Structure 1
Amino acid sequence: MTDVVFLHGLWISKESWKPWIDLFAERGYNAIAPAWPGEADTIAETRANPDAQAGYGIDELVDHFTAELKQRETRPVVVGHSFGGLLAEKLLGRDCIAGAVAIDPAPIKGVKPLPFAQLRSAFPVLGNPANKERAKALNEKQFRYGFGNALTEEESDALWAAWNIPSPGKPLFEAGFANFSPNSPAKVDTDNEDRGPLLVIAGSADHTVPEVSVRATYGLYEGSAAVTDLHVFEGKGHSLTIDHGWREVAEVVLDWLDKQGYGATTTTSAPASTPA
């Protein structure tokens, strides 16, 4: 049985992965969604104590999850969304996991497109340098722009009420200024040819990590002979892992995992992807 570890990104609780965990368990996977450092057992507790997450950056997060993954009997596949996607890429580049799926991954060092929508989505945190050492949540309006722009206002607000949590600002600053830092923690070993396979997923309507940014991430892997695939969901925004269409995304991930030989059934056909 293949282990699958789900990593959430900024502003969304680990609890949001529950439907994915249940579906993956039905398909024969052993799936979990661990907490970020400082994230409490419940959403209410996490919201009540944002300072517990403050100050954690990319390196600290990667070290935290590396130590946790080493406790497992076999190397898992990591499925990450947003900053969870960046963390999945970091872990894969270190060759400490079997494979990775990066859904709307936060930009790694070397990604140059910076669309206005992405800047606006990050501004609630990046707009105040003091937020680097704080943990901050999005309000309903900010969430609606960054996550729920492809949804009705009612669904976006319901998702915000259900899953939003404060998250550390430091990773966003580190990724945002990665191209100006030679030793940025957002740097990933994209040339590693010994790593496991990687699937990169984008939503064409995403404001927080626009498609052009995800495609730029995908392009950084062209120097590696290891399997790297891209899939773009038309009309989906940053909420694609938690909104009403989440299962369509999950089925693409499951199909790709099967084709890489991780599932109960395997095929020799190429993973579903769109051309770069």
Structure 2
Amino acid sequence: MNFAHARTVVFITGAFVSHFGWDPWKDHFESKGFMCLAPPWPFKDASPDELRQRHPHDLELATLTLGEVIDHYAAIVQSLQERPIVIGHSLGGLITQVIVNRGLAAAGVAIHSVPPFGVIPYALSFLRAGWKALGLFTSLRETYFMSFKDWQYAFVNGMPLAGQQQAYQQNVIPESKTVVRGGLTRVAKVDFEKPHAPLLLTSGSEDRIIPARLNYRNFKRYPQNGSVTEYKEFTGRNHFVLGQSTWKEDADYILEWLARLR
């Protein structure tokens, strides 16, 4: 794999939020000479307002599975002329790990990644932040929509109220409970022992839904077998890391990491 010529970046969005959150990252990476794509999940190719209007009776989105989302992004990656750099956040980070595990990426970056199957997420903050999205005792034919109160706890803790409200209006969209449940099944499995393209996992000290210690256990599952696997914890980052005022510092660290691989 000739990483030195990988100039395409595919950004993968996590659950609960719109893919438009990657727009500043795309602009920044493109200013550095990369060609960037941030394709939406299936049935999410619309504005946040339009997707909210479909809630809760968006049957196509409600019945979407994690396997279908993974295959959707794998197909996009495979359609490109070169193996791209894949960068994903949260559940998109998990999908990134799977795509890297399949040998489809030149390099991968998993930002505050949902851990693959087998890395048990027993942190109480993870359970508090995510259990409602599983939709226990509710219809799987209806979508889930995160409340502002849960958004404050799970994504934007530590931010001023006005910033929390603005981020909620601009980013939060309905979600498939079946996709969220899929993150706890073998669909989310990776072979940690398999050699792979360079992979960076990042975490944030203030993240509640994916605590830094959970990211670190995810990282530690990869043996030092010759594949480049690195870990970086950022101070002060919550789960809304892509949209925090510090996002460019994180993006620049990733760009520097990629440059070191060349």
Count of matched residue pairs = 254
1:42 shift after superposition: 2.1
In 1, are the aligned partners of 2:91 and 2:114 still within 8 Å (CA)?
Answer: yes
Q: Is the 8 A contact 2:90 2:113 kept in 1?
A: yes
Structure-2 separation of matches of 1:16 and 1:113? 26
Matched, 1:36 2:44: no
Please give the alpha-carbon distance, in whole angstroms, between the structure 2 residues aligned to 1:225 and 1:47. Answer: 46
Q: Deviations over 1:21-75 (max 9, x none)?
A: 0000000000110010111232222222242311222211111111122211111
The 1:20–1:69 alpha-carbon spacing in structure 2 relative to 1, beyond 3 Å, is same
Which moves more between the two structures, 16-25 or 113-122?
A: 113-122
Distance in 2 (CA, whole Å) between partners of 1:41 and 1:69 is 21
Residues 105-254 of structure 1 aligned to structure 2 (within 5 Å): 105-126=113-134, 128-130=136-138, 132-176=140-184, 178=185, 184-193=186-195, 195-222=196-223, 224-254=225-255
TM-score by structure 2 length?
0.92
Q: 1:71-121 deviations in whole A, cap 9, x for unaligned?
A: 111111110000000000000000011111000101211212411111010
Deviations 1:142-162 (A, max 9, x none): 101000113122211210111
Question: Hey, what's the Cα distance between the residues in 1 that align with 2:81 and 2:235?
Answer: 38
Q: Structure 1 length as normaliser, TM-score?
A: 0.87
Secondary structure of the corresponding residue to residue 187 of structure 2: coil
Provide, for residues 231-259 of structure 1, a one-character-per-residue CA deviation record: whole Å limited to 9, x for no partner: 00112110111121111111111111111
Q: Letter of the aligned partner of 1:99 in structure 2? A: A
Does the 8 Å CA contact 2:17/2:173 hold for their aligned counterparts? yes
**1:18 aligned partner, one-letter code:** D
SS in 1 for 2:138: helix
| Residues 147 and 239 in structure 1, CA contact (< 8 A), matched pair in contact too | yes
Q: 1:6 aligns with which of 7, 11, 18?
A: 11
Which one is further off, 128-137 or 47-56? 128-137
Q: Does 1:49 align with 2:54?
A: yes
Q: Alpha-carbon deviation of 1:170?
A: 1.6
User: Residue 3 of structure 2 corresponds to which residue in structure 1?
Assistant: none
CA contact (8 A) 1:5 1:31 kept: yes
Q: State the secondary structure of the residue aligned to 1:145.
A: helix
Match of 1:100, SS state, is: strand
**Cα RMSD for the two superposed structures:** 1.5
User: Are the equivalent residues in 2 in contact too, given 1:112–1:216 (CA < 8 A)?
Assistant: no
Q: Post-superposition shift, 1:132? A: 4.7
Secondary structure, in 3 states, of the residue corresponding to 1:185?
A: helix
Report SS of the residue matched to 2:194: coil
* Structure 1: gaps of 5 or more residues: 179-183, 262-276
Q: Determine if the alignment matches structure 1 residue 69 to structure 2 residue 77.
A: yes
Q: Which runs of 5 or more structure 2 residues have no equivalent in the other structure?
A: 1-5
Q: Is the 8 A contact 2:116 2:189 kept in 1?
A: yes
Whichever residue aligns with residue 26 of structure 1, its letter is S
Distance 1:25 1:158 in 2: 26
Quote the Cα distance in structure 1 between the aligned partners of 2:24 and 2:255.
14
Once residues 150 and 171 of structure 2 are traced to their aligned partners in structure 1, the CA distance between those partners, rounded to angstroms, is 14
More off after superposition, 106-115 vs 229-238: 106-115
Runs of 4+ aligned structure 1 residues displaced above 4 Å come to: none
Quick one: which amino acid aligns to residue 238 of structure 1? H
Identical aligned residues as a percent: 29
1:193-239 Cα offsets, whole Å, 9 max, x none, are 1x210000000110110111101110111264210000001121101
